[in-house]
Structure 1
Amino acid sequence: KTRFSSFPDVLVITLGRFVLGSNWVIEKINSKIHMPEEIDLDAYRGSGLQPGEVELPEDAPAAAAAPQVNADALAQLMGMGFPEIRCTKALLATGNNGADIAMNWLFEHMEDPDIDDPIPVQGAPGGGGASEADIAQLTDMGFSAAQARKALQETNNNMERAVDWLFSHADSMEEDTPAPSGASAAVAEPADTKPARYKLVSFISHKGTSTHAGHYVAHVRTADGSWVLFNDNKVVKVPAIAGPLAEGYMYLYERV
């Protein structure tokens, strides 16, 4: 079950009074909806993980990413009649260094028993760590180690794409800062122990038969509990709100 650990100071509820009709024209729903003047949401308050409950994972498993190769070189090799899987393997094995080098690799490995086996998919970008050799190669080009790691993370540890990424993000890239560890990483927030009870303080209504006619008015509760209607430049004290309350469009509740 899903529960709330905290509640807002102001609760806004909007009703779907405007819909797209069958003739593709926006229509207004004029149904009367009973809205309470007080709401108690304490029944939906969570109390943390209880005995016998299993905590849901924070993030869904990352989807596997297919290996990235040079599209032009791949098309060139496939144009020579080589199957796509062999061309992809050749480009990956030669570091995406062009069709000529990959073609030489193909001729040397045509008899390999696993030449047509599926290519193992890699984890999602950033899932695996970058090799120190790749980082060193990028730092030799003048980039910092943090920038090199960031580029490799963003490009699934592909050196060729990492270099392109570094140059294309040179103006906006900032140094990575190490993530806080231990107790300093988590900042405890004060527990929300205030009752989750709300009182209606205002509601907005649309006056008119359709979205193309009429205007909006607002009812506001005053400090003494009475209600005031704001209708353009007219402000009127109203004796009761039972009728207008059922025709509202947006309701604002304040926590008490």
Structure 2
Amino acid sequence: MTDFLEITRGDSPLILGLPHTGTTLPPDVAARLNATGRAIADTDWHIHDLYAGLAEGITTVRTTIHRYAIDVNRDPTGASLYPGQNTTGLCPLTDFDGRPLYDEGDAPDADEIERRRLAYHIPYHTALEAELTRIRAVHGFALLYDCHSIRSVIPFLFDGTLPDFNIGTSKGTTCAPSIEQTVTAICAGAAGYSMVLNGRFTGGWTTRHYGRPADGWHAIQMELSQDAYMTKSPPWNYDTEKADRLRPHLKTILDTLTRWRPA
């Protein structure tokens, strides 16, 4: 087992992907990054804690490596997730505000990007695919729920304020319609919260790559607004009062998906 991967195995059909909660910068990567990079502001802070204990029997796959080293939710070829829009790449060169993560001459070249891909990107997806395969062998299908969060106001990436629940299914292609409908209905019914389906975030590479309903692999991405469960500025603290209001809705989602079965 690779020491930067944390895997828990359950026997239900549901798998949680946790690609962006890690805060570890390998020393060789940290040495290249500037102060902005080393601040690791664009973490999906506390997401693994927010979902912890909400449902029984689920499988989780988490990397502890920070996305500034390599983003495991990006296409390994380097192709953009959102052509024509501001975004960050496989080995990000800027943060979500467009500020450089490296000083001149320190950014990773093609060889360094490939080294990071082999060291961190491939092992995460090897582990995730193994769990999807294992679960499908048991149930005849597997359901991947990819867990994310982001600041609600980031002008470099999107206009205005992001809703609390941002559901991504790549325009309905990555999961059975009933999965999309079920999660959307739960979020729409969560009093005091806002939601959108396939808005600014339609699902990252993980959701798009593993969302193969015809093959028995269903995938859905949930991008939460960080305002819904934590503070808006460094040191990015978990807000227990906010989180305790949000967690019952997330539990309803996970419990419902755990019980979902193909028609």
- With structure 2 as the length reference, what TM-score do the two structures score? 0.20
The structure having more radius of gyration, on CA atoms, is 1
Structure ranking higher in helix proportion: 2
- With structure 1 as the length reference, what TM-score do the two structures score? 0.21
